[in-house]
Amino acid sequence: MGLALLGSVWFFWTAVQPTAGFFTTYPSGYYGMLAAGFRDGSTAVKLQPAEGLLALQDPYDPVANAPYRAHDMTLWQGKYYLYYGVAPLLAFFLPFSVLTGWYSTEQLAVALSCSVAMAVGLALLGAMRRRYFPGSPGWVLGLAAVVLVLASPAARLPLAVQFYQVPIAAAAAFHALMLGAIYRALTARAGGGIWLMVASGVYGLSIGARPNYLLSGGVLALAWVVLVWRGRSRGVIGRAMALGGAAFGPALVAGLGLLFYNWLRFGVPTEFGIKYTLGGERIPDIKLTGLEYVWPHLGNYLFEGGNWGRYFPFFSPPGALPFGAVRYAPWLWLIPLALALRGSGERRGRAALAWSLVIATGANLLLLSFFFGHADRYAPDFVPAALVVAGMGALALGERVRAMRVAAWAVGILAGSTLFFASAVWFKRFPDQAQLLPLARVANTPTQWWEQWRGQTPGGLRLELELPRKREGLSEPLVHSGVSGDARDWLQIAYLPGERARLEFFHAGLGLLRGREFPIPADRRIALELESGALLPPLAHPMFSGWTHFEQAAAKRTLRVRLGDETVLEAAMHFYESTPEDLLIGRMRWGSGGVELEFTGRIERVAQVPARRPALVVTGSGASTPMELEVWFPADRMAGRDPLVLTGEGERSDVLYCEYAGLGRLFFGLYHYGYDLVTSPIIEFDPLVPHSLQVWMGSLADQSGEVSKDGTLPRECWLSVVLNGKTIMNQEQVFYPAAPDRVRVGENHLVRDVVKPIFEGRVVAVKAVPFAALPDPGLLRQYGAVDMTVVFNRAAKGAAEPLVVTGVPGAGNFLYVRYLEHDKLLFGFDHWGIGGFVGEPVVIDLWKPHRLRLTMGALYPADEGVGEWRRRVEVRLNDQVVLAGDYACHPSTRTQVRIGENPIGGSTCGPRFSGQIQRLERTSRPVP
């Protein structure tokens, strides 16, 4: 009981790191929004898909939907659903919300589910010892219990909880309850039908959480056969029918309910919605299950190797992938003893229970291996039951060899090594590594002493080389690091025509980053210096103890190659973990088709260069002026949101961020706490050069309370983002006021569930710039024709997007563009409530910028004589008229003129132009 309580406290403490709590007054997370949808009488999630997403011709295109999608939600007929199991909702989220009026966070659900699964497992171990192995020493039971709590992969589910872990943890809890009920049924003196019915019911819930638990229902059949056989003297047929109803009836009802739920959502009972999921790839193009997956995935789950290192925690798994349960949990080697050894206690139900545990483990593992994806978070589907049956084997061995010291040591070693590996993985994946730094640095201090004794200085490398001759067209390795063929980095030299060469850096999964070419000297001797995060120890190394968090992160993400005094290659990126033992100079550990195995020149000297402590240069004063950031965007990020500027505090904060939409592609966004995200079009960037980012957020303005008298846009309502001189965002936006000391660059400690805690590139400098450096915000609230240069969105086929919108709901005017197939655009005008007209489709080059000149009567004041332009509607694309006609417009004030956005609604076009407005001018009359 005490261990169960301590384990539960540990799970809840882990789950709350680094979030703020377990309850909210609003729907929290995907399951909270699903509960809110159910309370409204719908099976859909209570989250409205973005209009821009619904306007796409193919909303499942992962490139086109990147700015709009809710990741890994199912989109069907204009609504969001979850393909993840509904059982956690029915068993916990919905009842909790109905009874309390609050919403549970997913952290609470996962911690509670893991606690239930652990408590049932501990109860099973205790019951087995009392009933079957009463002579087994207490310390064996203690070891088995500690292993079950600390070494179970379920203990890792509360780490950095997302919606993914909710059905996994819930299914593990239901599965444990099923096995507990099976035990009670097998040991019952009066038939066991009630407990068999309970087992069937919770088995149905486990299917409702994770359908891959389907085959584990075989234990119900085993228990049914055993109970029927026991009572065969009282009539086999009648008893078989009665127990069969108990064993399979509740599960059948649950299965039919799940099919009905699918039919309500998708109109097909067997459709769970996974093929309609929005993510980084098209799910319908993937074969989700197949026999070809089974053997490789069985190897992954049972025998996949991990990585050893000299630094704490000294062992790490292969990323988020599964590592071998049999290889790194030797406690499981005791499973055969549970099947082979009998105890001195009762015999009733012992063999059937052991086989039930084994069947449940094997069935879940087998069906899990049929699925195309594999991840370590799936291990709770089969490992907890395996740990229980291994504990049964330990109890059996303990009773047989109480006096054998060797056997006792063997059991202790199996338990200790299992706990070591599990603890190392837990420490490695703990979400807030800063909390572990004191412990880790103490653990790494002996390693640092050993390195100092050997004269090793963590940092970069300096290589003095003599290059070979006659190697034109080839590439050779210079520095290689990493722990496996798919988790490594290396620096290579490419020999080019005309006695020239180029230094290149390869990151597995990313590819080559090419530096600048240079002439090979006449004596063929060069000296290069490499700075790379792959050459540095982990942040838990004592050498980093005096560095700030930004300095540590910047150093670990820096790639810089110097040739003499010139930097020929530089980028910001992550690197694969590596230790000095993994470092190779002039050769490869694993072959690659694009590079030779060895450097054929002469390595004259290799020297270590002490790590340089980076610094963020901040200039300028006051928070009431725009800021300019010199940034390196990460070369390897394909998804996720990184903070750029955070203002405010708590629930009155704003975060300007960048979100990655594939390699070398990103868009900017603003999160105004409690409101929908505001995003820019997707743009491309070069990760090998620094970028100038000029930013103004209204929260930076002096809070004078003055109201604009001329109707121009006040600074506190203005958002401007300019990248390398090109306007990315220039629009009206509501902000929370912020004090100067509540401005953070490159970090986010407030809304980590929306934006990551730190910018994954590098911010090199921050300085104040004048407002004159930004586009004129007055152009957004001004009468006159619109003259702008735009780049249209290549991924918006089928969408209709606003160019100019005026007026108010019910009395608005729209000039819009619709994206057609084959690089065609269609321009149109709409007069709210009456209609409008469209032009002829035009073919353009979507890769190039284009000049647009637009006019309509609503763009001019009502009391000004504008002649024919009062009724004229016209759009010119470059020098071609693509839309023209006469139409009376609803009148509009200048504050109701919107460029590139549609705040008034209507069905004509979406909420925002997803292309890029590079230049904007306003003229009193149309420019011919």
The mean pLDDT value for 63-89 works out to 88
Which tokens go with 204?
A: 């149905």
Inter-axis angle of helices 106-132 and 165-187, to 10 degrees? 20
Residue 228: pLDDT above 50? yes
Q: Which residue has the higher pLDDT, 775 or 506?
A: 506
What value does the mean pLDDT take over residues 183-211?
91
pLDDT computed for residue 24 by the predictor: 86
Q: With bands split at pLDDT 50, 70 and 90, how would you rate the model's confidence at 194?
A: very high
Cβ–Cβ < 8 Å for 229, 206:
no
Contact criterion met (CB below 8 Å) for 175 and 218: no
Q: What is the DSSP letter of 682?
A: P
Q: If you count DSSP H runs as helices and E runs as strands, how many of each does the chain have, helices first?
A: 19, 39
- Indicate if the pLDDT at residue 616 is higher than 50: yes
Identity of the amino acid at 624: S
User: Can you say whether residue 499 is alpha, beta or left, with left for phi > 0 and alpha for psi between -120 and 50 degrees?
Assistant: left
CA gyration radius, the chain: 32
- Tens of pLDDT, residue by residue over 708-752, are 555 567 888 889 999 998 888 888 788 998 888 788 898 888 887
CA distance readout (Å), 475 to 8, 516, 586: 55, 15, 12
Q: Is 710 helix (H, G, I), strand (E, B) or coil?
A: coil
Which pLDDT band, with edges at 50, 70 and 90, does 528 fall under? very high
- pLDDT confidence bin for 620, thresholds 50/70/90: very low
- Which residues face 512 on adjacent strands? 506
Cα 804 to Cα 68, 368, 402, 733: the distances in Å are 21, 52, 85, 17
Mean pLDDT score, 353-358: 94
SS3 168: helix
- Supply the mean pLDDT for the chain: 88
Q: Give the pLDDT mean for 209-234.
A: 88
Q: Stretch 64-81: mean pLDDT, rounded? A: 87
Q: Which residue has the tokens 């710039």?
A: 769
pLDDT at 292: 92
| φ, ψ of residue 444 in degrees (nearest 5) | -90, -5
Name the amino acid, one letter, at 275: K
pLDDT digits (tens, 9 = 90+) for 98-109: 999 899 999 999
38-42, 326-330, 907-911: range with lowest mean pLDDT: 907-911
Angle (CA) 74 77 83, round 5°: 20
Mean pLDDT of the region 646-663:
91
Q: Count Cα neighbours of 679 within 13 Å in the Cβ-side half-sphere.
A: 24
Cβ–Cβ under 8 Å, residues 879 and 865: no
Task: Give the list of residues 6+ apart from residue 505 with CB closer than 8 angstroms, or none.
Answer: 489, 490, 491, 492, 512, 513, 515, 532, 559, 561, 569, 571
pLDDT per position as a tens digit, 113-160: 999 999 999 999 999 999 999 989 999 999 999 999 999 999 999 998
- The 3-state DSSP class for residue 700 equals helix
Q: CA–CA distance from 185 to each of 116, 215, 418, 837 (Å)?
A: 20, 20, 31, 74
Please give the model's pTM, rounded to 2 decimal places: 0.74
Cα separation, 234 vs 221, in Å, equals 20
